[in-house]
Amino acid sequence: ACTEMVMPMTVSNESMFPPSSFSDEKRSEGCHLVYGVRPRMHWITTEYGG
């Protein structure tokens, strides 16, 4: 998701998938490159509190 609901996903080296870590910076750059937008990482707490 490249807008309000950023869902960080990681994969450990104990999976059948290649290891992958989540980075706010990488997600932001990828979204900007592909869609021209930057995610609002803290939207949910800004909108609903917490």
Q: Global pTM?
A: 0.70
Alpha helices (H) along 1-50: 24-35, 43-48
Indicate the domain borders of the chain. 1-6+23-49
Phi, psi of 30 (to 5 degrees): -65, -45
29-43: burial string, b at 16+ Cβ within 10 Å, e else: eebeeeeeeebeeee
Mean pLDDT of the chain: 90
| Alpha carbons 10 and 17: distance in angstroms, whole number | 10
Residues 6-25 pLDDT 10s? 888 899 999 999 999 999 99
User: How much is the pLDDT for 3?
Assistant: 81
